[in-house]
Amino acid sequence: MNLALLNNSIRFILLLLVQIIIFSQLHLGPLGPYYIDIIVFPLAYLLLPFRTPREFQFLLAFGSGLFVDLAMQSPGLHAGASVFTMAIRPFVLRILEPRGGYDKLHSPTVQRFKWPWFASYTSLLSLIHILFYFSMEVFTPLFIGVILIKTLLSWFLSNIFIFLIMIILNPLD
Amino acid sequence: MLPRPKVFSELGNLVLFLILEGISFYLIINFNDSQSKIYHNTINIISGNIANQVSGIRNYFSLRNQNIYLLNENAKLKARLLNLAEKEGGKAKELDSILQYNNLFSLVGTKVINNSISLRNNYLSLNKGSKSGIKINQGVIGENGLVGITKAVNDNYTTVLSLFNSQTKISARIRDKGYFGSLVWKNDGDVRYMILEDIPKHVPIRLGDQVETSGYSTLFPGGILLGKIVNKRIPPGSSTYALKVKLYQDMTRLKYAYVVINFETPTLDSLYLQTNTQ
């Protein structure tokens, strides 16, 4: 129990640091305005155990987003996206619910649910986070094309890195 | 077993969610440059449309007052015309300056469709925009003095940074004496008075002296009467006056405003640019 808490805390902080130290410094893309942001830190709040109280889920999502925002000088963008994604999480969990239901003590990890489930879970929710982020970044529906292109490119690359991180960490809970 | 997944298991969670998103949105539109511009422009369009509708309805109920107002305005203009005709025979020099003044500036008459006076930073909306030749950073005057400076413009509406705004600073001088300073608004909520600063304390000031625009900026023509001095005071430790000026323009009843278009601004701007780059 306490070990899981410790593991979760370390993983949470580690993912945020990796995001701001490595991935946020890369502005990839030869595409001019269609640059790519690699956004992996949603994994930090997406891996929170099911038993985490809902209030803490929201607050941790908000806090992690705000932390990355402050490092990237985009106040509010990631924070809003994280909180929104956290609100969508129960829907996605319901869609992906396995036959036996969820064990309240578990976390949504590869070890617990295998790759296909985990891949759908993170890719769906990271898509929501990234879509929300770029919508807020562009901030006008007039440039819906820009939003979608940026979202798809960043989503694709981000997920590759999310899976790599998951292979490296491979946590149980 | 996980209970049936619900987004908000309790009302508190919904409130928390809304608060957090509210904070995020507040941060986005206040600390990100492009987002804040887009936000203000959008609000400008929406509120412009709504205010125009409301104003249209309200106009029916105030036609009588408006007629009186237009009558007064007409009377003033006619009086000016008469004065001009008088001068035509008399002093040729003054006529020259008036003609030159007419060539330098032109006015776009607009209706005020939204006006705030109770906030710390106040804004107005006008019912004309770039289609009428209005651009940002142009002066706006009313019947009896200044109103503000244009801040955002779209096709049909303009947002004006009101005089009663912590960012506003107007170059003004004392009529017939020539000493100039800056007119600012201490946001104490009183929109009848502004403070004229930076006048050195050796200058003889009499209560009742009139304050006018200095003409040192390209926004406003010089010599527009703004108000009169009602109180003089030297703040302790300061070498300049803080003069309380009672404005002639009553912003609480503002219905029409004129945007000043200065034909020389582009030339002057390029001159300033040259000076800055040297």
Check whether B264 has a pLDDT greater than 80.
no
What's the pLDDT at A5?
Answer: 84
Check whether A72 has a pLDDT greater than 60.
yes
Identify whether residues B121 and B181 lie together within a single domain: yes
Residues 6+ apart with CB under 8 A from B212: B172, B173, B174, B175, B222, B223, B224, B225, B226
| Extents of the domains making up chain A | 2-169
Check whether B5 has a pLDDT greater than 60.
no
**Which tokens hold the place of B31?**
């600390």
pLDDT per residue as tens digits for the range B61-77: 778 777 777 766 766 67
CA distance B260 to B135: 10
Tokens 């769906």 — which residue?
A: A124
- Percent of chain A residues past pLDDT 70, beyond the cut: 95
What's the pLDDT at A155?
Answer: 92
Q: Are A105 and A166 spatial neighbours (Cβ–Cβ below 8 Å)?
A: no
- Residue B275 resides in a domain: no
Q: Are A45 and A93 spatial neighbours (Cβ–Cβ below 8 Å)?
A: no
Cβ-defined contact of B28 to A91 (cutoff 8 Å) = no
Q: What is the overall mean pLDDT for chain A?
A: 88
Identify whether residues B87 and B120 lie together within a single domain: no
Residues of chain A in contact with residue B25, where contact means CB-CB under 8 angstroms, are 76, 80
Identify whether residues B129 and B214 lie together within a single domain: yes
Identify whether residues B141 and B230 lie together within a single domain: yes
What's the pLDDT at B112?
Answer: 87
The SS3 call for residue A28 is strand
Residues 6+ apart with CB under 8 A from B265: B138, B218
What's the pLDDT at A163?
Answer: 93
Name the DSSP letter for residue A51.
T
User: Domain containing B246: what range?
Assistant: 108-262
pLDDT per residue as tens digits for the range B92-102: 444 445 444 45
Name the DSSP letter for residue B8.
-
Identify whether residues B120 and B244 lie together within a single domain: yes
Whether the model clears a pTM of 0.80, i.e. scores above it, the answer is: no
- Residue B193 resides in a domain: yes
**Which tokens hold the place of B200?**
């050195």
Cβ-defined contact of B5 to A54 (cutoff 8 Å) = no
Residues of chain A in contact with residue B2, where contact means CB-CB under 8 angstroms, are 50, 93, 101-104
Interface-testing mutation among B6, B20, B38, with chain A (most A C-beta atoms within 10 A): B20
Range A58-78 average pLDDT: 90
What's the pLDDT at B144?
Answer: 80
Range A57-72 average pLDDT: 91
Identify whether residues B149 and B236 lie together within a single domain: yes
Identify whether residues B86 and B113 lie together within a single domain: no
Range B190-199 average pLDDT: 87
What's the pLDDT at A131?
Answer: 94
Highest mean pLDDT among A64-68, B143-147, B163-167, B198-202: A64-68
- Residue B277 resides in a domain: no
Check whether A32 has a pLDDT greater than 70.
no
Cβ-defined contact of A55 to B35 (cutoff 8 Å) = no
Identify whether residues B159 and B195 lie together within a single domain: yes
Cβ-defined contact of A104 to B2 (cutoff 8 Å) = yes
Highest mean pLDDT among B72-86, B105-119, B244-258: B244-258
Range B176-185 average pLDDT: 86
E-assigned strands of chain B?
Answer: 105-115, 123-126, 139-142, 145-153, 158-162, 170-174, 180-184, 193-200, 210-213, 225-231, 240-247, 256-262
Identify whether residues B126 and B28 lie together within a single domain: no
CATH number for B137: 2.40.10.350
* Residue that wins the pLDDT comparison between B103 and A84: A84
What's the pLDDT at B56?
Answer: 82
Range B190-216 average pLDDT: 86
CA distance B208 to B92: 31
CA contacts within 13 A on the Cβ side of A22:
13
Residues of chain A in contact with residue B27, where contact means CB-CB under 8 angstroms, are 69, 75-76, 79
Residues 6+ apart with CB under 8 A from A149: A31, A34
Range B37-56 average pLDDT: 83
- Indicate the pLDDT class of residue A33, thresholds 50, 70 and 90: low
Range B97-109 average pLDDT: 61
The residues that bridge with B110 in the sheet, in sequence order, are B257
Range A64-89 average pLDDT: 91
Check whether A164 has a pLDDT greater than 90.
yes
Identify whether residues B132 and B173 lie together within a single domain: yes
What's the pLDDT at B272?
Answer: 66
Residues 6+ apart with CB under 8 A from B49: none
**Sequence-ordered alpha helix ranges (H) in A22-102:** 42-46, 54-72, 77-95
- Indicate the pLDDT class of residue B1, thresholds 50, 70 and 90: very low
CA distance B117 to B137: 20
Identify whether residues B139 and B220 lie together within a single domain: yes
**Would you report the helix, strand and coil content of chain B in percent, each value rounded to 5?**
40, 30, 35
The count of structural domains within chain B is: 3
* Residue that wins the pLDDT comparison between A145 and B221: A145
What's the pLDDT at A81?
Answer: 94
Range B123-140 average pLDDT: 87
Range A23-46 average pLDDT: 78
**Which tokens hold the place of B271?**
């001159």
CA pseudo-torsion sign A161, A167, A171, B1: positive
Highest mean pLDDT among B3-17, B63-77, B142-156, B208-222: B142-156
Buried b (16+ CB within 10 A) or exposed e, B13-38: beebbeebbebbbebbbeebeebeeb
Identify whether residues B94 and B115 lie together within a single domain: no
- Residue B3 resides in a domain: no
What's the pLDDT at B99?
Answer: 47
A67-71, A76-80, B175-179, B208-212: least confidently modelled range: B175-179
Check whether A70 has a pLDDT greater than 80.
yes
User: Residues B183-187: contacts with CB within 8 Å, 24+ apart?
Assistant: B183/B211, B183/B226, B183/B245, B187/B120, B187/B121
- Residue B276 resides in a domain: no
